[in-house]
Each structure stands twice: as C-alpha cells, then as structure tokens.
Amino acid sequence: MRAHNFCAGPAALPTEVLEQARNELLDYQGLGVSIMEMSHRDPRFVEVAERAEQNLRTLMGISNDYAVLFVQGGASAQFSAIPLNLAGLGGRADYLVSGTWSKKAAAEAARYIDVNVVSNDIRRVAAQSEWQLSRDATYFHYASNETIGGIEISNEPIVDVPLVADMSSNILSKQIDVNRYGVIYAGAQKNIGPAGLAIVIVHKSLLGKESQQCPATMNWANLAEAGSMYNTPPTYSWYLAGLVFDWLLKQGGVEAIEKVNAEKARRLYQFIDESAFYSNPVELDQRSRMNVPFLLADSGLDKRFIEESEAAGLMNLKGHRSVGGMRASIYNALSLEAVDALVDFMAQFERKYG
C-alpha cells in the first residue's frame, strides 16, 4: 500500500507513473534493454525526449519563441547559470527576496554581477509600490512560490525588464502566461520528476548573452543548439518527466489540475483557520497552494504529531528545519483524498490532545 506522501521534495510521484516505469524498467518496449541503458543519441530515446518537450509545451502553452532545456544540477545550478547567461546584457539585476530560495538565488548571483535586492522580507511579500527597483537592471528575478515559507506570488511582477522566475515548487500547478516571462526555471523534484533534473524555459532573444566565464554545460545557447544534449543528459529523469507529462495530460492538463489544487488548498486552510489548535502564519492572499506550513498550539506535541501521522500512513509532515512546526506539501500528485485523510487525522489529533 502506498502512503500519502506530503514531502516537500523530492516529492510524491503519481503511482501510475511509477507503475509504468516499473513495467518498462528491464525491457523498454521489447528492445531487451532498459531505457537507462540506451544511448541518448538512439532514435528511440530521442523520440522519448522530444515527446516530453512537446508535451510540456502543450501543457504550458510554450510558443516557439522559447527554447525548452532539460538540464542537470537542479534549480540551484541555475542560480549561477542565470547571471552567467544574462551578464552580457549588463552587470546589474534586481532580485525580490521573499524567502529562503530567492535569498539563495540572490546570494549566488552576487558572485557574478551587481545584485540589487528590491525588497527583503521572508514573512510577506511587500507591495510592488514599496520595491526599490534599480534604473539599469537587466533582468528581474523572483521565486513564484517559496517552498519553505509557504508564500506564493500569484500575480507576475510588472517590470520593464525580462522577468526570471524560479517556479520549482509551483510549475504546472496552475495556468500561467509564459509570454510574460524571459526565463522560467524549475527543479524537477516537486512537480515534474526525479531530483537532479531541472527545466529551463528561455525566450530565444535572451540566448547568446552569456559571459566568457559561463561553463559550456550551463550555457543556454549551447544547450539549446544541442537539444539539451551537449553532454549526456540525465536520460532516465528526462524519461520519467515525460511520463509525468503524459499523466498530467490524461488528467485534463494544467487547467484541470489547477481546480483540484485550489480545492485541496481550500479544504486544508479552511480547516486550519477554523481550528484553535492549528495555525498558518501567512497572509491570506499570499498563501501557497502547494506548501502549507502549520504550527500546533503546543510545540511540545510536535514529535507525537509526527509519530501518529506516520502510523496513520501520512508521511513527511515535519516542517523545514529552519522554521519548525509542520508542513504539508500538496503538489499535483497528491490527491484530494490525501488532503481529506490529513484533515481527518488533524481533527482527530486535536480532539485527543487539544
């Protein structure tokens, strides 16, 4: 029996996807070898890779003005790749810091370029009118969902320069207009597939602006030119991502999963808000639909909450070590039933100890 897995990342994958991977593991489509054991140049792997890209383009409505790259090093490698690839535009960029991840991205970029932090508050996102934008920034970076703080920015910032967004923990969770962005990137291990793989969606007009120092393996123009096969790509992760895209299309695509995600979040937050025992610290209009941190009224009960929830088949509810408490990550692969099971458990726990 599969547990309900609320892990923030690497996160739950759809059971059907894992079943298909298991069925094909030893013998990919009668070839007698695993897809893991095939050359990335093999036409049958190339077909898998191209199909994954095509399906992602369909799911997100990505036009041919954008290159879609499948890269290694997770989202964090892009913290460096972004300034290195865009440095040719000029030496200064604006960064909105709204939590742990955007803070890390800004710190890494500062190794290469001049970083202007427009606002720095990890408990809430300041209104755009309060941001200190620089006059000569060449791009604007933000994280659309802060996985640890549970803060989501639902409307794109309105800026005059290319928008660069870390969507690691909310990509494919809701419809967005890709055309508003210069660069979208995401580590795969939340809503796409296995850790290590990241996806970069970059407007083609931003290719070829890299600095001399940009490593070839991180050079977007180089990767786009080579179909993400400048060196050996993470083939198995790419294949698994493709299975997740197939699965998502079968669910009705992003539009359909967005409705489920909204309902999952609504039920969980409503329960937390109506309870005197649980609380969530995030302002209503900035609450994440993907990561729901919550505190128990008595933190002395945290350990017991974790033990009893695991015994009930609800895994990985412990909050991030930097903030404590609990966190339920409810990505695409988490069903409405999983959220109902969590709410039932929380209600029971409150009756017992509250």
Ligand X SMILES: *Cc1c(COP(=O)(O)O)cnc(C)c1O
Q: Does 166 bind ligand X (CB under 6 A)?
A: yes
Residue of 143, 176, 260, 339 that binds ligand X (CB under 6 A):
143
Q: Does 72 bind ligand X (CB under 6 A)?
A: no
Contact 352, 15 (CB under 8 A): no
Question: Quick one: 190 or 289, whose CB is closer to ligand X?
Answer: 190
| Piece of the chain touching ligand X by CB under 6 A; list 39-47, 68-76, 268-276, 321-329 | 68-76
d(C-alpha 189, C-alpha 85), whole Å: 24
Cis ω before 162 (30° cut-off from 0): no
Q: Does 9 bind ligand X (CB under 6 A)?
A: yes
Residue 214 in tokens = 């940009």
Residue 72 in tokens = 């290694």
Contact 240, 14 (CB under 8 A): no
d(C-alpha 323, C-alpha 295), whole Å: 10
Annotated active-site residue 104? The verdict is no
Annotated active-site residue 101? The verdict is yes
Contacts with ligand X: how many residues (CB under 6 A)?
13
Instruction: State the catalytic residue, choosing from 174, 190, 209, 318.
Output: 190
Give CA separation, 321 vs 149, 164, 327, in Å: 12, 28, 11
- Closest residue to bound ligand X by CB: 74
d(C-alpha 194, C-alpha 244), whole Å: 10
Contact 60, 201 (CB under 8 A): yes
d(C-alpha 106, C-alpha 343), whole Å: 36
- Residue whose C-alpha is closest to residue 203's, from 89, 115, 55: 89
| Piece of the chain touching ligand X by CB under 6 A; list 69-77, 90-98, 317-325, 336-344 | 69-77
Instruction: State the catalytic residue, choosing from 101, 220, 238, 247.
Output: 101
Question: Quick one: 76 or 128, whose CB is closer to ligand X?
Answer: 76
Q: Does 101 bind ligand X (CB under 6 A)?
A: yes
Q: Does 151 bind ligand X (CB under 6 A)?
A: no
Q: How far is CA 270 from the centre of its chain?
A: 24
CB of 165 to ligand X, least distance (A): 10
CB of 333 to ligand X, least distance (A): 15
State which of positions 167-226 bind ligand X (CB under 6 A).
168-169, 187, 190, 195
Q: Does 147 bind ligand X (CB under 6 A)?
A: yes
d(C-alpha 247, C-alpha 238), whole Å: 14
Annotated active-site residue 166? The verdict is yes
* Cβ neighbours, 10 Å, residue 24: 15
| Piece of the chain touching ligand X by CB under 6 A; list 18-26, 70-78, 221-229, 294-302 | 70-78
Residue of 75, 172, 328, 338 that binds ligand X (CB under 6 A):
75
Q: List, by residue number, the catalytic residues.
A: 101, 166, 190
Residues found near ligand X in the complex (CB under 6 A): 9, 74-76, 101, 143, 147, 166, 168-169, 187, 190, 195
